[in-house]
Each structure stands twice: as structure tokens, then as C-alpha cells.
Structure 1
Amino acid sequence: MNKKTGTAREAPFDLAAEFEGARLAARLFGGESAGSYLVAGRLIRFDRLPVGDLGLLTVGFRITDRPREKWTRRFNQFKYGQPSAVRAATRTLCAAFGMFRLDGDPRVVVVSSVPSGQNVVRNDTPASKLASALAGSRGWEWLPHHVTKDRHPSLTGIASAADRDATVDGKYLAAPIGGEPGLVIVVDDFCTRGATFTDIARAIRESNPGWEIQPVSLAKTERAAYWKGELTNAHIPDYLDAAWRGDPAVASPFF
């Protein structure tokens, strides 16, 4: 408790501790728990995505069969490129990482996904705006041209999950980063199954052995009809709601 204001302090989110917590949950409660999520500070963490061997840090859910849900509506506005929503999403993701801590002091670099019709990252894409702002707010290195890829068809019109996964498989390339290995934060706007993150990770690992990889997205795309239990964004704290709205009380020089 803050003695001056009487408000509760949020505990920092330690990534290493969350990794261990997820592993413990999997041991205690079985494999299904490992596929669920944990609230981690102002973020949620998936210990393992459906495709590949990676976990995910994200703000909330884009619930495709509940488009009127408050946060889903906001995420969709971002997806469709509304300028105010892009700015709001950038503020929100940076604010969500305000409690993020790493064990030790590793070198951290940030890269972003590349849109389907492009082969290099442009500074005007939603994912690159999220990535560059996040890097700046945390003092991490932003490497916009480290990841490239072959163009591929948009995943939007591909109905089969397996076909969507195959469309992005083997498309990405990554340049050597150099220096001592550290952590690569890979940013995408939305994550569904993890196929894009998995292919980016493959490319990074091929040219940068020893580096850890952590996927990050604004939201995870899900359908309430397919979810076991109730799917909500009730976990998103009021602080992030204020960040989305641009409340001066949570303003930062970085977002």
C-alpha cells in the first residue's frame, strides 16, 4: 500500500518467475492447465501456443464471435487502421509492460512481424508501430530490418487452420544480431495459433543460436464458442482502460 496516497501498489511482473509458475501449474494440474493462461501483472501469459514451442504475452482477447465486447471492439478498430485506435493500442501495450521485469540484465532487442503483402518491415504498419513504441518505452533495441520474408497470400481468406499455418511456414529470414545472446521480443498485432511467431523464431534461431525468443501481441484471437469455460477480458485492469482512453493520469513521455 502506498502510505501517501492510500492506493495499492502493483507488484512487478518477473518473466522468469512466471515461467516457473506456468511449469508448476502444468505439473500439478496436467497438460490442459499448460494451455490456459496466467495473469502476469498487466498482461496475460500463455505458456505454450497451439503451433510450435513458444509462449505468448498479450493484453487480452479479440473475441471474434463477440464483436460488441468492449475490448474486442477496440482491437478491431486497431485492426482496421483507425488512427486514434492505433495510437490508443500503442499506449496500452506500452502501459501493459510497465510492470515487466527480467531476471538479471540481458540484452533485449525487439523485432516485428511483416505483413503478408510485404517482404520488409515498414514503419507505418500496426505491428511495427507497436514494436517501436514498446522498445522505446523500455529502452530496448528496435531492429526494424532484422527480419524479412517472402510475400505470401493474406491469411484472412484461408478457412483451414492447417492451410493458414502452411502459408507462413518457411517464409521468414533473419540476419545475425551479433554480440552476446540475449532476448528477442517478437511483436505482432494479433496471435491466433502461433504459426507466424514460430516461423520468425525458426529464422532467428538459425542465424542467432543461443538467443531466447518471447512473442508479444496486442491481443490473442479466439472464439467464445470454442473456448472451454467463460472467455472474457475482465482481467484487463482499469489502468489499461485509462491508457486506451488517453487519461492524463497514466500519461508517459514514451506513449
Structure 2
Amino acid sequence: MIHWNPIAGWMGFPHLSRSQGITHSYTLTYKLTDKTGEAWTSRMIRFKNKDKAAIYGGGRLLYSAVPALIEAVGVDVDDTTFVAALSSGETKADPDRAIPYFATECAGMVGTQSDIGALSKKVHQKIHNFYSAEQRDAELEKAEYQAKKLDAEHVFVFDDFITRGATLSKIATAILEKNPKAKVYGLALAKAERVDWCPNPDNDHVPAKWDKVWQQGEQEAAGVKKG
């Protein structure tokens, strides 16, 4: 079981299964891969499937939760930058894709820098298509992540989900190659987990206010659809 500590409504993970180069990782909920009917898990699945209402919900949730996290972590916002993880089919982050867009918006809200073009890689197959950890690791090697020089001591990597931390570790390693004095943090909506591997994981820790924020985002999406 991967242990976490509460921080400003987030789950703070000092370590993941793979934590090379990662200072700390933060997620808001669990995405339970073998309990798909669970309320927050269902929302995260819809987000992954690019359901418009869920994307609005996820965006509003990050806009509400990220400022509190950054304040609680205590980093200097003038020496912090937000970057975005890349999808399997990207070589550079599409600024209009949900996660890069949210990272940019959150940076503006808290007063940090953002550099959505900081990372690059080669196209590879989707990691969740592979069953074994060895196969997933082999596919990740094909990505050959690279990062550019960043004018920041603290780098937060935005993603939708964190699972083992393997992708995040590859990104952190690339960032540290060009920025050896930096601290790299993972930040995502959810930590993917299996009930049969992690005893009794649940989302009872999620503050009630985050549920309301997500619902407001979905209602906003419904209004946009009608318009």
C-alpha cells in the first residue's frame, strides 16, 4: 500500500512505486480500477473518456484546489513553474488539451510561471494497453523524454492520473538533466489504484466542498451545451 498524508484537501504521496527524481506527488482522489461504480472513480473515468461535463468538473476542481495546495506546500511562487505531462500521441503538449490548459490557467491564478512547451518526447503506445509492468516500462523507454532549461527551482508536472509514478519519474529525470537543482512535484486529479492490491482505499477523505465544485463545473458544461 502506498501511504499518503492529507494536505489542504489533497493526498500527499512522499513516495510512489516509482519515485525517481520526484520530490512529492499530490492527487485529489483515488481512481479505483476495480471499483468503477464508486462516485469519484466514475467521474475520473468520464474525464479520461473526454466527457465534456467531466472535463469542466475536473477543471473547476483544479482551479479551486491548486491555490490552497501551493500555499500549503510553501514554495516561492516567483521561483515556481507549472508544466504539463504529454499524452502518448504527443511530441509536444497541445495547449488546448485539458491538462495543459488547466496548468496554464492555474499558473495565472496563483502567480507562478507556466511553460507548456517545456517537455518533448517521441510518440509511443498508450501505457494502459500493456498488462505487465515490464511491458509498460519498455514502452516508456521509447518516449525518450527531454526537457528544456527552466528558470525555476520548483517544477509542478500536471497530469490527469498518477499510477505507479513511472511516467512521472521519466519526466522528472528529463527535467533534472537540464535543471539539476530543481525540485519536481507531480500533481494530478487522481491516483489510480486497485482495491485488491491496496487494502480498503476509498475517497471518504475528499472534502464535501470539492464535490460541490465538481457539480458546479458539470452544470456549467450543461449551460454551454444549451448555448
In the superposition, the TM-score normalised over structure 1's length comes to 0.78
Could you say if the C-alpha distance between residues 104 and 171 of structure 1 is closer, same or farther in structure 2, counting changes exceeding 3 Å? Answer: closer
CA deviation map 1:67-96 (0-9, x unaligned): 111100111111000112111101112212
Find the structure with the greater CA-based Rg.
1
- Residue of structure 1 in register with 2:17 after alignment: 50
Identify which range, 129-138 or 110-119, moves more after superposition: 129-138
Q: 1:193 aligns with which of 149, 157, 164?
A: 164
Task: Tell me if structure 2 keeps the 8 A contact 1:184–1:214.
Answer: yes
What are the equivalent positions in structure 2 for 1:232-243 lying under 5 Å apart?
Answer: 232-243=202-213
Contact 2:153/2:183, CA 8 A, preserved across alignment? yes
CA shift digits 1:20-57 (9 cap, x unpaired): xxxxxxxxxxxx7xx30111111011110101332310
Counterpart residue number, 2:149:
176
Cα deviation digits, residues 137-163 of structure 1 (max 9, x gap): 212111011111111111121111222
User: Which residue of the partner structure matches residue 99 of structure 2?
Assistant: 127
Per the alignment, residue 94 of structure 1 pairs with 63
Equivalent residue letter for 2:126: S
| DSSP-derived class of the 1:225 partner | coil
Aligned to 1:16: none
Q: CA deviation at 1:175?
A: 0.8
- Size of the alignment, in residue pairs? 211
Displaced runs of 4 or more, over 4 A: none
- Deviation, 1:104, is 5.8
Alignment of 1:1-255 (within 5 A): 35-53=2-20, 54=22, 55-100=24-69, 101=71, 102-103=73-74, 105-106=76-77, 107-169=79-141, 171-178=144-151, 181-228=152-199, 230-246=200-216
Of structures 1 and 2, the one with the larger relative CO (CA 8 A, separation 6+) is: 2
- Alignment check: 8 A CA contact 2:75 2:154 kept: no
Contact 1:119 1:150 in 2 (8 A): yes
Normalized against structure 2, the TM-score is what?
A: 0.87
SS at match of 1:58: strand
CA distance in 1, matches of 2:174, 2:150: 12
State the percentage of identical aligned residues.
28
RMSD, aligned CA: 1.6
